[in-house]
Chains A and B, each alone.
Chain A
Amino acid sequence: MTTLVDRKHLLTSVEMAHFVSHGSVALNAVVPDSLNERATEVLDTGIPGHPYGTPLDVVFPVGSFVRELLDLPAVAGAVQSLVGPNPVIDHHAVHIRPPHGGEAQNMHGDAILDTRTDVFDVQLMYYPREVTLEQGGTLSVPGTHLRRINQTGIGRYQNLAGQTRLTCPAGTVVLLHHGIWHGGRRNDSDQPRYMFKIRFNPTVRQLRLWNTDDIDDPAVRAELRTGFGWTNANEGRLELVNRARMWRFLTGDELFDIDYYLTRETIRPTHLAPGATDVRLGSGRSGDGWGL
């Protein structure tokens, strides 16, 4: 992770646009079985914690299992595309939900209300084993990551139209925007569910970190405009504004817009039209316009 990843392994612009609209990008079965088979033993043993903001090289030194995972070209490329080279580790955690164990969490956003409107952290979730519906994989609500809520303040929301329950093949890595609304579900299967999470903080400006060769692909805009069940009415257009702002931040293109919303609000002409010359206006001492 201390060296730049080959450009061919970075996310494309279409994939970045997908992350901007959905708040996540999934790399299905990207981890080889040889690593997945070793993972459960490593996760059962536990992975030592570190202070917040410790360099990746310190937390996961070369030769460690997690470093092997993070150095897989597709994983390294996706992480670098989102948070850049040399991110620091916010924290990491092993989540093992036993068979028939646990209760569904209330819906929440991780940590607390985050006041940042542009910079974002990324949470990597690695699933070394297949996750079935019965195992109660994480429920998340695509497109909610840009809404400013405080952790379980959304706990009253049990179901939102467009929500997804994660099911995935073994060796899947999912990268999430820190703000996405989600919750763990009860494991109703006979198998334990394994997940390893790492939160990354960027150390560089998150500007054009991915492979931008396809920046003009019409699929970029199509991804940015993706609607979900819960965005079908009033809230959807406001989310397009949020996404346009995030795309401006990521690309540095301050004129980028979706449906003219951010552009229209800047239309505030100040020069006078030639016909606007009636000197009587505003000249009365009483300030009551035509009362001359």
Chain B
Amino acid sequence: MTPTLAPALSVEDSFAVPSATPNLRQQLLVLYLGTSALDSDVIGWSRYDGTGRSRPTMGDSDEPPYATGLAALLDGWRLIQMSQLLTHERGHEYDTAYLPYEFIFERLVDLTA
């Protein structure tokens, strides 16, 4: 059995160590597409700005920033998650609820730029 080493730092101290990228912040783009295909049309969109320089909110735009998910890739956004394709529960095949095709993108922004 491998001996367990005592951690060198407390969780608080370790997480207080300065970031290796102190000037980079994440911007998130969430796109809801018409189908599970990344090149299908954007039907919903949300943005979160880690720079703090803007505050996207509900109802802030009527036109999507990109026409398709692929268009966001082409513009430099990195896809970090897409929703799974879930089996339809028997008896509830027609139920509709949350939007099923969610794609989360990020890009890193230099605060000093």
Contact = CB atoms under 8 A, between A and B. Distances in A.
B103 to A, nearest CB: 12
Given A106-B58, A183-B59, A234-B34, A160 B44 contact: yes
Contacts of A157: 32, 44, 46, 58, 99
A105 B95 contact: no
Given A104-B58, A139-B58, A233-B40, A159 B45 contact: yes
Contacts of B60: 104, 158-159
Given A105-B58, A161-B42, A183-B58, A156 B94 contact: no
A77 to B, nearest CB: 31
Contact of B94 (A107, A149, A159, A241): A241
A148 B98 CA distance: 8
Q: Is the interface of B mostly helix, strand, loop or mixed?
A: loop
A103 B57 contact: yes
B96 A159 contact: no
B88 to A, nearest CB: 11
Interface residues of B, number: 29
Contact of B97 (A147, A160, A233): A147
A157 B56 CA distance: 11
Interface string B19-60: 000000000001011110000111111110000000011111
A159 B98 contact: no
A227 B95 CA distance: 18
A257 to B, nearest CB: 13
Contacts of B99: 157, 230, 235
Given A157-B32, A160-B43, A149 B57 contact: no
A242 B96 CA distance: 8
B61 interface: yes
B42 A149 contact: no
Contacts of B98: 147, 149, 153-154
Interface of B: 30, 32-35, 40-47, 56-62, 64, 94-101
Interchain residue pairs A-B with the least CB separation, the first 10: A233-B34, A158-B46, A139-B59, A104-B57, A230-B43, A160-B44, A147-B96, A148-B97, A104-B58, A241-B94
14 contacts: A148-B96, A157-B44, A157-B99, A158-B46, A158-B56, A158-B60, A159-B62, A161-B42, A185-B59, A230-B43, A233-B43, A235-B43, A235-B100, A242-B94
